[in-house]
């Protein structure tokens, strides 16, 4: 279990804050179709804020860097971060825009479709990220995603590297990435769709995932961890391609499972845990998030994650 005597690792998240509007339905509607939903909820979300909250719930000292609008959703986003003990002094409120909103449809299997209207997130400029990171004097692990401008992510990664900080990038939502970002990344955590978008390929098997991920190591990336849903997660480094089986849970809503994975992974790595152990813990966090509705409300605490991680199946090599 967590050791309260240890100094918490420091994680800084530069990324998005999105307020989620979630509708549950028996199946997602097709083109031109209207369906009656079974439930509706409003939850603080956004990949950046979700990962910040998960890192805090896994006992890190977390700072969030980003932007919201001067509106109800923005105030609720900041309140949620405060409630989870995330430092929000670098979350800027921009009165000229509105807070980002996510429209999420979840079917009875727990799968989802998401439309994000980015608003304030896409007005978060490189200089804002640079100034925030340079204001942090102690070493941090930097965690990034792709719901803010690429230029801002690049500036954040360059700034962190200049300070000697490790950089973890969750490359979501899926898109091609420029060399000037990838070469500053230490660990990359794509899912299979995001991996294909980055590499320009369409991998469909474990061996193909491993080959595609291996191509990215040429940028100096230390490890690519491909999240594969019910198959688990695959680690690809210069020395290995290893599959870590998923935990079998009753899936309710997969909305923040990837964020739970990356948020937990970032803390475990910041603590200096072995890479394999960090992935097992991250797998457990992702599994637990899928058992609950909503984004931030679904994120598990450290004790729950560590208890589930004990039951991890042995990883196996992929040839």
What 3-state class would DSSP assign to 171? coil
* 259 counts as catalytic: yes
What 3-state class would DSSP assign to 176? coil
Q: Which tokens belong to 13?
A: 């998240």
Tokens 């719901």 identify what position? Answer: 147
CA 165, CA 190: separation in Å to the nearest integer?
21
How far is residue 61 from each of residues 80, 87, 95, 134, 205, measured CA to CA in Å? Answer: 16, 8, 29, 17, 38
Please name every residue paired with 165 in a beta bridge, in sequence order, or none if there are none. none
CB atoms near residue 210 (< 10 Å): 22
Closest residue by Cα to residue 72 from 105, 101, 115, 114 = 101
CB 217 within 8 A of CB 224: yes
Helices (H), the chain: 47-57, 72-83, 126-134, 150-162, 179-182, 192-199, 206-216, 257-270, 275-289, 302-309
CA 294, CA 114: separation in Å to the nearest integer?
12
How far is residue 65 from each of residues 21, 120, 145, measured CA to CA in Å? Answer: 23, 13, 12
Closest residue by Cα to residue 229 from 263, 206, 201, 212 = 206
Phi then psi dihedrals of residue 7, to 5 deg? -70, 125
Q: What is the DSSP secondary structure assignment for residue 271, as one 8-state letter?
A: T
- Which one is catalytic: 259, 301, 303, 311? 259
Catalytic residues: 259
């Amino acid at each position: 279990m967590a050791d309260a005597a240890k100094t918490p690792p420091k994680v800084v998240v530069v990324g998005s804050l999105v307020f989620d509007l979630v509708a549950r339905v028996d199946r997602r509607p097709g083109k031109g179709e209207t369906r009656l939903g079974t439930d509706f909820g409003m939850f603080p979300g956004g990949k950046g804020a979700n990962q910040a909250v998960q890192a805090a719930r896994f006992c890190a000292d977390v700072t969030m860097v980003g932007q919201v609008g001067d509106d109800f959703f923005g105030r609720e986003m900041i309140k949620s971060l405060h409630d989870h003990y995330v430092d929000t002094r670098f979350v800027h409120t921009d009165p000229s825009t509105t807070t980002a909103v996510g429209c999420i449809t979840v079917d009875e299997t727990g799968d989802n479709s998401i439309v994000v209207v980015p608003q304030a997130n896409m007005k978060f400029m490189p200089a804002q990220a640079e100034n925030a990171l340079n204001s942090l004097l102690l070493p941090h692990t930097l965690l990034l995603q792709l719901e803010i401008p690429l230029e801002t992510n690049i500036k954040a990664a360059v700034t962190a590297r200049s300070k000697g900080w490790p950089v973890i990038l969750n490359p979501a939502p899926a898109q091609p990435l420029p060399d000037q970002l990838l070469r500053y990344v230490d660990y990359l955590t794509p899912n299979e769709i995001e991996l294909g978008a980055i590499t320009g390929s369409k991998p469909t098997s474990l061996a193909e995932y491993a080959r595609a991920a291996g191509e990215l190591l040429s940028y100096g990336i230390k490890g690519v961890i491909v999240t594969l849903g019910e198959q688990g997660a695959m680690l690809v480094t210069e020395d290995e391609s290893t599959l870590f089986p998923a935990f079998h849970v009753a899936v309710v809503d997969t909305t923040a499972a990837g964020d739970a994975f990356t948020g937990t992974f970032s803390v475990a790595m910041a603590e200096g845990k072995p890479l394999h152990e960090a992935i097992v813990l991250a797998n457990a966090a992702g599994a637990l998030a899928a058992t609950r509705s909503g984004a931030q409300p679904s994120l598990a605490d450290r004790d729950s994650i560590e208890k589930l991680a004990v039951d991890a199946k042995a990883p196996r090599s992929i040839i």
